[in-house]
Amino acid sequence: MQIIYWLLVALMVVGIIGAVVPAIPGSSLILTAIIIWGIISGSFVAIKIPLIVTILVLVLSIGVDFLAGYLGAKQAGASKWGQIGAVVGLLLGFFGLLPALPFGGPLLGILLGPLLGAIIAEYIYQRNFQLAVKAGIGIVAGTLIGNLIQGILAIAAVGVFLFTTWPQVFGT
């Protein structure tokens, strides 16, 4: 039982990483691991609090994701075109650099793609390079801050799970 517990905790750590890094499942992976533990342990009563906390974290993460990107874009004066460009840049950066650089490519694409996508889209829309760069940086900064907040929320969810299930598994 302890081996399964540690495997699920490892899955939750991947979920924490996914909460910070785009394109990797985050809070939903943590929620899945908690539900699997509830099924395996046969005691959903023991995971009631972690389950509720993780569902709240999942909802908050979705809200933080949209709000942080929106506030970053708004603060920098970006238009909807810049936000669309950032999403397109994220997808193109991730999948476009995957074949070229199989190890660092997707991560580099996730970091540079949204910035370049937002700058290009804003420049096409506003025809002002300085405003386009400012908007691109604002969108990316807002998204990064949102990702950090999501990571903190994910760590809290895993911490609650460990705190409430540790005595059940290890009897201390």
Using one digit for the tens of pLDDT, what is the confidence trace for 87-105? 788 778 767 665 555 555 5
| Residue 5 pLDDT > 80 | yes
Residue 164's CB is within 10 A of a number of other CB atoms, namely 16
- What is the tens place of the pLDDT at every residue in 26-82? 788 888 898 888 888 877 776 778 878 888 887 877 777 767 767 777 777 777 787
Averaged pLDDT, 113-120: 83
What is the C-alpha separation between 50 and 81, in angstroms, rounded?
39
Alpha-carbon distances of 46 from 32, 53, 69, 169, rounded to whole Å: 15, 13, 36, 11
pLDDT band of residue 117 (cuts 50, 70, 90) is: confident
| 62 vs 115 pLDDT, higher one | 115
Alpha-carbon distances of 39 from 47, 78, 83, rounded to whole Å: 10, 46, 41
Residue with tokens 């506003």: 126
| Residue 13 pLDDT > 90 | yes
Q: How far apart are the first and last CA of the chain?
A: 15
107-139: b or e for each residue (b if 16 or more CB lie within 10 Å)?
A: bebbeebbbbbbbbbbbebbeeeebbbbbbbbb
What is the C-alpha separation between 140 and 161, in angstroms, rounded?
31
Cα–Cα–Cα angle for 128, 132, 135, rounded to 5 degrees: 140
pLDDT at position 6 is 92
Query: Using the 8-state DSSP alphabet, how is residue 45 labeled?
Result: T
* Predicted TM-score of the model (pTM): 0.73
Q: Which helix (H) or strand (E) holds 74?
A: helix 48-76
